[in-house]
Structure 1
């Protein structure tokens, strides 16, 4: 099955490397999410120059959690959305890796 094989990659979040084991077909989405997180961290660092990277990382992740929560509240609760589930699972995996 093409795109279903596991692959080892390393992503940089807030300048720190995080090795991940992912499905090959998830790599573009994960790299896009990592870029968005890093962009958000950089935005917080520019806005709040007195905060360290860990604070900016926490604020970036909190922003994503709030956005996802709002999205889930406005979605139809009984209609599954596979794309949303996939994105939530990927963010959950990234958070698990960050918190280890």
Structure 2
């Protein structure tokens, strides 16, 4: 599918983007999550500077991304270990 032009508002700044139609909903949801996080930080902390709020949000989402990445890697390792053990059991069983 083709690209479309959209405008995304983050921290009271508008960013014109060209995105694929498949990505539009995800990008709009991401912008909403960011703005919601900024609003939460602004309400709960004595931070008013948009740059500081954006930095805090970036840190939050980068940390969450790294945690998710680690979890996937750990689960992949566990699956690979279990497949290896199962393969060994089957090899031993059929070699008798």
For residue 65 of structure 1, report the CA deviation from its aligned partner.
0.3
Name the residue aligned to 1:33. 30
Q: 1:41-56 maps to which residues of 2 (within 5 A)?
A: 41-56=38-53
How many positions carry a matched residue from both structures? 76
The structure in which a higher percent of residues are helix is 2
List alignment gaps of at least 5 residues for structure 1: 80-100
Find the structure with the greater CA-based Rg. Answer: 2
| 1:51 Cα offset (Å) | 3.4
Deviation at 1:76? 3.1
TM-score for both structures, normalised by structure 1? 0.69
RMSD (Å) for aligned C-alpha atoms: 1.7
- Distance in 1, matches of 2:8 and 2:47, equals 26
How far apart, in 2, do the equivalents of 1:50 and 1:6 lie? 37
SS in 1 for 2:4: strand
Q: Which runs of 5+ in 2 are unaligned?
A: 77-96
Q: Note if 1:70 corresponds to 2:49.
A: no
Structure with higher RCO (Cα < 8 A, 6+ apart) = 1
SS at match of 1:75: helix
Q: CA deviation at 1:21?
A: 1.0
Q: How far apart are the structure 2 equivalents of 1:76 and 1:70?
A: 10
